[in-house]
Amino acid sequence: MKSENPDKTDKIILSALQRRGNMPLSELAELAGLSASSCHRRVKLLEERGIITGYTAALDRKLLGLANEFFVEVSLIAQSEDMLEKFEKAVQRVPEILECHLMSGQFDYLLRVIAKDAEDYERIHRTRLARLPGVQRIQSMLALRTVKDWGGYPVL
């Protein structure tokens, strides 16, 4: 996939939509210095180009009763293409795994896992993570506090 280079106006639109995806088009157009129809065309073009991949609502995990966030290092018994594929497909079916990253270095995958509490994480560890295909070693770290939450990509 080739890199797309948004212009200054596109960057204003992208930054604003990352902060508030439900921003009214009229407000977005004013912010970008465009008419509503021009702004609408730009947004549609950004969507068609694949720069905007979708829209979501940001939820408060604590208000949902999901107070604990864990980062989990996973090492597999082998790094064959088949083993990686089986592991990655299985990860997709575990709703408590929020993110999964194939890594270089001392372990194979880094997972971000959400749980209600320590007892809930123990259940997830025992019944979900330990049963993923090819798992040799699991190391879990509890995030004590989020210092900087992800707020979108820098649009430079």
3 DSSP 8-state letter: P
Other Cβ atoms closer than 10 A to 74: 22
Question: How far is Cα 150 from Cα 54, in angstroms, rounded to an integer?
Answer: 17
Question: How far is Cα 21 from Cα 27, in angstroms, rounded to an integer?
Answer: 12
Residue 151: what pLDDT? Answer: 87
Residue 13: what pLDDT? Answer: 97
Task: Say whether pLDDT at 49 is over 70.
Answer: yes
Q: Distances from the Cα of 19 to the Cαs of 15, 26, 27, 50, 56, in angstroms?
A: 6, 16, 13, 18, 11
Domain parsing of the chain, residue ranges: 8-48, 68-142
Backbone angles phi, psi at 47, to 5 degrees: -70, -45
Closest CA to 100 of 129, 59, 79: 129
Q: pLDDT band at 38, cuts 50/70/90? A: very high
CATH among 3.40.50.880, 3.30.70.920, 1.10.8.50, 3.10.20.600 for 68-142: 3.30.70.920
Question: How far is Cα 113 from Cα 70, in angstroms, rounded to an integer?
Answer: 5
Residue 123: what pLDDT? Answer: 98
Task: Kindly report, residue by residue over 62-72, the tens digit of the pLDDT.
Answer: 999 999 999 99
Task: Say whether pLDDT at 1 is over 50.
Answer: no
Structure tokens given for 156? 């430079």
CATH among 1.20.1530, 2.40.10, 1.10.10, 3.40.109 for 8-48: 1.10.10
Task: Say whether pLDDT at 39 is over 50.
Answer: yes
Task: Say whether pLDDT at 102 is over 70.
Answer: yes
Percent of the chain with pLDDT over 90: 94
65 DSSP 8-state letter: T
Task: Say whether pLDDT at 156 is over 90.
Answer: no
- Helix, strand or coil for residue 26? helix
Average pLDDT, the chain: 95
Residue 136: enclosing H or E segment and its boundaries?
Answer: strand 135-142
Task: Say whether pLDDT at 2 is over 70.
Answer: no
Task: Say whether pLDDT at 96 is over 60.
Answer: yes
